[in-house]
Structure 1
Amino acid sequence: MTEASLPDSKDERAMPEVLLVTGMSGAGKTAAAAALDDLGWFVVDNLPPSLLMDLISTVSKDDATRRVAVVADVRGGVFFGELRGALEEMATDGVRPIVLFLEASDEVLVRRFESARRPHPLQGRGRVVEAIDREREELSSLRVAADMVIDTSLLNVHEFAARLRTAFAGEEIGLRAVIVSFGFKYGLPVDADLVADMRFLPNPHWVAELQPQTGQDTAVSEYVLKQPGAADFLDRYSDLVGVVSEGYLREGKRFITLGIGCTGGKHRSVAMSEALAARLREQGIETLVVHRDLGRE
């Protein structure tokens, strides 16, 4: 190889890790950008998608910047329509961004816009609910293709930041899991990849001394986990997650959200979520537990 044909060392530098943050307006992208900045990500908000590769190429020249988060959403107007083409261009150049999609219920989004006294980016002279419906339709294919979906409807800013820390705080070590305990009477967690139903176990609600306690209390946890079928479920489900995790990693998916439900989200789902989290951590899967409905009446 002649000197003239030697590769430029800058061209051989590894591309930075790229995180694309998108989703519903009002679902928390601004809060996500702040949290990611605190975690050491180089964050760019509202970048026209056509400039993604230019940004990545520029950042890759700086060895100190190895993680880039880009927030892109419908605020970009016609430029946001270029996102699909930009992602295809990135794939051609060997860059596969992680796509984080944030969403919330219509009721919560309307309340947030009313509280902020700001119009929805697609609202125009119409109603905010109409703008939300239009945005959901426009983003439906992007949500389906996302690597991670977070529903922020019931998360406060600290809980949301904890979810992001679990997923994006440091060097990648394998699959990362979030276990969400919930009550079926309050609805399914829309961001769950897998859902398991604990209503096959006896309900501690009907045991007088256990009714006021929760699945985080030792007495309730022991009661739930000693029921017939509980240990078998825990063994088999943790094994299933292990199998699924291998496939997810092969497919480039590094995050999984597991929904564990019971009637009210207070006893059985909470106890089993904590037990499952302990089992997954033993398997080397970094796991965060969120008790969505704990504390509801």
Structure 2
Amino acid sequence: MHDDSSAPPDDETELVVVTGVSGGGRSTVARALENVGFYVVDNLPQALMLDMAELAQKAGGAARHTAMVLDVRSRAFSTDLVGAIKALKERGFHPRVVFVDADDEVLIRRFESVRRSHPLQGDGRLADGIAAERKLLEEARDHADVIIDTSHLNVNQLRRRVEELFGGEDARRLRVTVLSFGFKYGLPPDADFVLDARFLPNPYWVPELREHNGQEEAVSTYVLGQPGAGEFVATYANLVGATAPGFEREGKRYLTVAVGCTGGKHRSVAIAEELADRLRQARISAHAQHRDLGRE
């Protein structure tokens, strides 16, 4: 279908490629993309990605925003996603690759809850199928533009995450997620920068603040009023501001700045909200997200 005489795609053609582990939430991501105006092609064989991109470019209209969802269960699936993406770029497209992931333990619970086997499980255990799929998708994950870890996200939270990433704003701008988390629950695997807010006094030990969180004014005022808190936020706001133009020039569209404290309830939440606000004041597209808020 494609040939050298075809007109090159213009900047209005927006392509998103969604892949990731089975049980990670690809179908939810696909529905969320539909909600923000994408034409979604599910279970597309990799060999047809360039053809689909050219069809979308020629069709125009709603198809100018097309998402292609790749599934390891497709017989035509190959491990050379990187090569397929390179072919799209050589043709003049600018695809963005989303990799949907989750912890093994979470995936096992999800499969068991719906009484389904893993597509690569065969006669082995669920864990064997998950491990085989991770091996198959290893290179695709390494080359993804954004990794969405759904381990601690419900369906509505995942939908909002996708809408924040792909809804409405200029697709060529860098979008920053300032993610609060608790160190006791583990580091976010999709973090580009990790900030440690544990040098600040913990509101947990202040009785009147213990049951509140960093989104509430009393806790936020307490945290941000501590020595070094303002300088901490300003330093990282300046760092993101200084690097954002370079990231955009290099084609990076998503940046995750993770802010951690012990439990992800007080200090990290307050700092994340303040940092996201500072970035927005500097005309950087930023929003705060709180991975572990409510887990205690």
Give the TM-score taking structure 2 as reference length: 0.93
2:19 and 2:26 in contact (8 A); partners too: yes
Aligned residues: 290
Report deviation, 1:12. Answer: 5.1
Matched, 1:208 2:207: yes
Shift of 1:194: 1.0
- Which stretch of structure 1 is more off in the superposition, 40-49 or 130-139? 130-139
SS state of the match for residue 78, structure 2?
helix
Aligned-partner residue type, residue 38 of structure 1:
N
- Aligned-residue Cα RMSD (Å) equals 1.8
CA distance in 2, matches of 1:296, 1:171: 31
User: 2:231 aligns to what?
Assistant: 232
Question: Among 36, 41, 49, which residue is 2:38 paired with?
Answer: 41
| Pair member with larger Rg | 1
Structure 1 counterpart of 2:21? 24
- Match of 2:123, SS? coil
TM-score (ref. length: structure 1): 0.92
Moved more, 84-93 or 62-71: 84-93
Matched residues in 2 for 1:83 and 1:176: separation?
24
2:109 alignment partner, SS class = helix
**Deviations 1:31-59 (CA, angstroms, capped at 9, x unpaired):** 11111111110110111111111111112
Deviates more, 1:202-211 or 1:37-46: 202-211
* Partner residue in 1 for 2:95: 97
In 2, are the aligned partners of 1:166 and 1:286 still within 8 Å (CA)?
Answer: no
Matching residue of 1:137: 135
| CA distance, structure 2, for counterparts of residue 277 and residue 197 of structure 1 | 16
Q: Distance in 2 between matches of 1:252 and 1:39?
A: 22
1:234-277, Cα deviation, whole Å (9 max, x unpaired): 11100111122222111111111111100111111011011111
Structure 1 equivalent of residue 286 of structure 2: 287
Residue 246 of structure 2 aligns with an amino acid whose one-letter code is: G
Aligned-residue sequence identity (percent) comes to 51
Structure 1 residues 79 and 213, CA gap change in structure 2 (3 angstroms): closer
The one-letter code of the counterpart of 2:48 is L
Instruction: Assess if the C-alpha contact under 8 Å between 2:45 and 2:76 holds in 1.
Output: no
- Structure-2 change in CA distance of 1:248 and 1:13 (3 Å): closer
Task: After TM superposition, give the deviation of residue 82 of structure 1 in Å.
Answer: 4.5
Equivalent position of 1:72 in the other structure: 70
Give distance in 1, aligned partners of 2:212 and 2:70.
44
Would the aligned equivalents of 1:50 and 1:83 in 2 still touch at CA under 8 Å? no
- Paired amino acid for 2:111: F
User: Where do 5+ consecutive residues of structure 1 fail to align?
Assistant: 1-7
Unaligned 5+ residue runs, structure 2? none
For 1:250 and 1:217, how far apart are their aligned partners in 2?
Answer: 37
Give the match for residue 198 of structure 1. 197
Query: Following the alignment from structure 1 to structure 2, what is the Cα–Cα distance between the partners of residues 253 and 71?
Result: 21
Partner of 1:169: 167
* Structure 1 counterpart SS, 2:191: coil
Say if 1:88 and 1:54 are closer, same or farther in 2 by CA, change over 3 A: same
Amino acid at match of 1:190: P
Preserved contact between residue 154 and residue 292 of structure 1 (Cα < 8 Å): yes
> 111, 121, 135: which one pairs with 2:109?
111
Q: Which moved more, 1:278-287 or 1:83-92?
A: 83-92
Aligned-partner residue type, residue 167 of structure 2: A
Q: Hey, what's the Cα distance between the residues in 2 that align with 1:58 and 1:140?
A: 29
